[in-house]
């Protein structure tokens, strides 16, 4: 009975926060009449399969004026050629070449830092090459920035998932964000630890970005999602979150191996960090796996009270995932396999943690990054 009660308490706490956050994590307002001039910045390294659709989706924007700057970061494929071809027919597009990567820098952070200093407009939008923006996305994001009073805002795009590993693991982005971050407190408390974001999509005031150091301040990180908002907050600027499901989509990975490598790349500075790995394991196993195990045990040989507690915990564990299916267009099969997804996620976190302890590098885009075992 004690296990069933623990599972119920932990699952209910996560479910309650998730439901409360759904009311606060809203899509940005519809387009304003005169959106601010915006620089859309895309770091690109071997993105020939993505860069064309990404740039074309931005050029369909109803916002004006915009510039699109793509930074080719030592690509060995047709990335630069594709951008040049688009730029010939649309003067809003510009191709730039990244300087050599300095020691101690992560490739993406260096590319974003260079892009920000090439930009000429007061609003910066950093977007990954695998993101597709809807025509009203830029106007709505800049409108949100003005309405919220934030200097930096971010949102999770609709996550396109096709393979079983994608459907099992990628939707957990929303689950972790909304199930463990108190958004109401984040908006009133300036503490840097409450900063959060999605590295796929950021919108920022250029003057604030330059004032706080932007990506330069997190040059050695592989995980700009939470780190960049914390830089802004440490400098006294507000940050915020919006639901980007309506305005953008992204397919991060296309194979099971990519899912593992991609999630493990960020894990060492997220849930898989020495500071969080223990508590994350206890909370996720206790709140998302234990209720289902307790329910199965109670069905076989348990009291009525144990069965009721286990059933309540199981409903609470699945509730956020079921809501995510409807709100964020997530796959139903991934939601139904939620406990398995949690176990797979924890396996990735522990893999990243042990890799950092062993001083083995994380490899991304052909580059090796050694993550410190403690931060």
282 pLDDT more than 60: yes
Residue % of the chain over a pLDDT of 70: 97
Give the contacts of 338 (CB within 8 A, at least 6 positions apart): 288, 317, 318, 321
pLDDT in tens, 202-231: 999 999 999 999 999 999 998 899 999 999
Give the confidence band of 310 by pLDDT, cuts at 50, 70, 90: very high
| Average pLDDT, integer, range 99-127 | 96
CA 80, 84, 90, 96 torsion: positive or negative? positive
Higher model confidence: residue 275 or residue 75?
A: 75
pLDDT in tens, 13-48: 999 999 999 999 999 998 666 778 999 999 999 999
142 pLDDT more than 60: yes
What whole-number distance in Å separates Cα of residue 260 and Cα of residue 266? 10
Pairing between β-strand 362-364 and β-strand 367-369 as defined by DSSP bridges: antiparallel
| pLDDT, the chain, mean | 93
pLDDT in tens, 219-275: 999 889 999 999 999 999 999 999 999 999 999 998 888 999 889 888 877 888 888
Higher model confidence: residue 222 or residue 189?
A: 189
Which domains are assigned to the chain?
A: 2-21+271-369 (no CATH), 25-254 (3.90.550.10)
Give the confidence band of 375 by pLDDT, cuts at 50, 70, 90: very low
Cβ atoms within 10 A of the Cβ of 272, count? 26
| Average pLDDT, integer, range 345-367 | 85
Give the confidence band of 374 by pLDDT, cuts at 50, 70, 90: very low
What whole-number distance in Å separates Cα of residue 354 and Cα of residue 361? 11
pTM: 0.94
């Amino acid at each position: 009975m004690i296990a069933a009660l623990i599972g119920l308490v932990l699952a209910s706490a996560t479910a309650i926060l998730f439901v409360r956050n759904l009311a606060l994590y809203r899509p940005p307002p519809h387009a304003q009449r005169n959106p601010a001039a915006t620089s859309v910045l895309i770091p690109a390294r071997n993105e020939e399969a993505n860069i064309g659709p990404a740039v074309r989706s931005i050029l369909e924007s109803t916002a004006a004026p915009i510039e699109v700057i793509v930074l080719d970061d030592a690509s060995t494929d047709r990335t630069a050629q594709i951008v040049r071809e688009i730029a010939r027919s649309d003067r809003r597009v510009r191709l730039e070449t990244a300087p050599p990567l300095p020691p101690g820098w992560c490739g993406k952070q260096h590319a974003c830092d260079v892009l920000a200093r090439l930009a000429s407009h007061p609003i910066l939008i950093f977007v990954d090459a695998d993101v597709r923006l809807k025509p009203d996305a830029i106007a709505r994001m800049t409108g949100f920035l003005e309405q919220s009073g934030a200097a930096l805002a971010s949102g999770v795009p609709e996550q396109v998932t096709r393979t079983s590993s994608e459907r099992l693991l990628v939707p957990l982005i929303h689950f972790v964000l909304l199930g463990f971050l108190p958004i109401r407190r984040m908006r009133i408390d300036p503490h840097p630890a409450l900063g959060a974001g999605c590295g796929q999509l950021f919108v920022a005031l250029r003057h604030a970005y330059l004032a706080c150091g932007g990506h330069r301040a997190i040059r050695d990180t592989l995980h700009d999602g939470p780190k960049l908002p914390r830089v802004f907050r440490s400098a006294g600027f507000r940050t915020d979150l919006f639901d980007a499901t309506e305005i953008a989509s992204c397919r991060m990975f296309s194979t099971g191996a990519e899912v593992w490598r991609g999630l493990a790349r960020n894990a060492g500075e997220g849930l898989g960090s020495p500071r969080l790995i223990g508590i994350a394991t206890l909370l996720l196993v206790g709140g998302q796996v234990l209720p289902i195990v307790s329910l199965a045990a109670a069905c076989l040989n348990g009291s009525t009270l144990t069965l009721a507690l286990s059933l309540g915990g199981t409903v609470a564990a699945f509730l956020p995932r079921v809501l995510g299916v409807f709100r964020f267009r997530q796959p139903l099969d991934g939601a139904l396999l939620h406990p398995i997804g949690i176990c797979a996620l924890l396996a990735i976190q522990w893999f990243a943690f042990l890799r950092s302890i062993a001083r083995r590098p994380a490899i991304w885009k052909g580059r090796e990054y050694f993550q410190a075992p403690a931060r």
